[in-house]
Structure 1
């Protein structure tokens, strides 16, 4: 049972206030958002900060629900997604992770690099371009999620792809929202 203590120490050391690992559905997403909102309410967080954090969380969770790739490799077992939110003195850190097909990495990386290269006005312009010229994909998205995360957080999106097999990697995404209004 030492692992529970080790997990607790890890959560404290990394200022994590909520971790969920498992299947992500719309219902579970609503529950995770409600728990995070209650936590921010309990510490008296400013409403403008809560809105930004909530918006980024929604986009992160929708990204998992709509875009996680199902692993079809029996040697890897069942991999699910993870969501974490942490709070430091000056910022909230929202981190997600989910399996992704290696074939999809380049397009995700290109999109994130483009978004991270833009300033506030550039992000606003890209957002408008996507709204005007994009159709909804079969997964239900128009490609606005990452752009919206960058716009609302005001910070670059950090990411990694950890190889899992020849076909899959684990995609981790971190968004930081300042607690300064």
Structure 2
């Protein structure tokens, strides 16, 4: 049972206020968002910051639900993913992770690098271009999520891909929202 205490200490040391690992559905997404919102309310967070954090959380969770591949070599779980939100003095950190196939990983890397190269005006122009083109992917997304996360946070998106074998990678994405 020591691992429970170790996990607790890790969560405290990293200022994690919400961690969820497992299957993500629309219902679970709603519950995670409601818990995070209650946590921010109980901490007396400003409404403008809550809106930014909430927007980023919604985009992260939608990405997991829409784009997570049905693969987890460590268990029989389908769509196993993780979502974490942490609060430090001057920022919130929203992190998500889920398996993707190698081809999707390459496309994600290219897309995020392209977004990270843009300034505020460039992000705004890209957002408008995507809205005007009005094209949906085969998974129902228009490609606005990462752009919107970068716009709302005002920060570069951080990401990583860990090889899982069998043609899959674990995609981790971190978005930081400053509290001022």
Fold in common (TM above 0.5):
yes
1:14 maps to what in 2?
14
Does 1:59 pair with 2:59?
yes
1:48 counterpart residue number: 48
TM-score normalised to the size of structure 2?
Answer: 0.96
Q: 1:159 aligns to what?
A: 159
**Aligned residues: CA RMSD:** 1.1
- Per the TM alignment, residue 13 of structure 1 is displaced from its structure 2 partner at its CA by 1.0
Confirm or deny: 8 A CA contact 1:55 1:152 kept in the other structure: yes
SS in 1 for 2:137: coil
Once superposed, which parts of structure 1, at least 4 consecutive aligned residues long, lie more than 6 Å away?
A: none
| Structure 1 unmatched ranges of 5 or more | none
Q: Size of the alignment, in residue pairs?
A: 178
What is the aligned partner in structure 1 of residue 173 from structure 2? Answer: 173
Distance 1:105 1:2 in 2: 36
- Matches of 1:76 and 1:165, distance apart in 2: 11
* TM-score of the superposed pair, with normalisation by structure 1: 0.95
Within a 5 Å distance, the mapping from 1:124-135 to structure 2 comes to 124-135=124-135
TM-superposed deviation, 1:105: 1.3
After the TM superposition, which residues 1-181 of structure 1 pair with which residues of structure 2 at under 5 Å, given as runs?
1-71=1-71, 76-78=74-76, 80-180=80-180
* Per-residue deviation, 1:76: 4.2
Deviation at 1:78, TM superposition (A): 3.4
Q: CA deviation at 1:138?
A: 2.2
- CA deviation vs aligned residue, 1:28-76 (integer Å, no higher than 9, x gap): 00000000000000010000000000000000000000000112x7x54
Q: Secondary structure at the match of 2:165?
A: coil
**Structure 2 residues not aligned, in runs of 5+:** none
* Equivalent-residue separation in structure 2 for 1:140 and 1:93 (angstroms): 26
| SS in structure 2 at match of 1:69 | coil
102-111 or 117-126: which moved more? 102-111
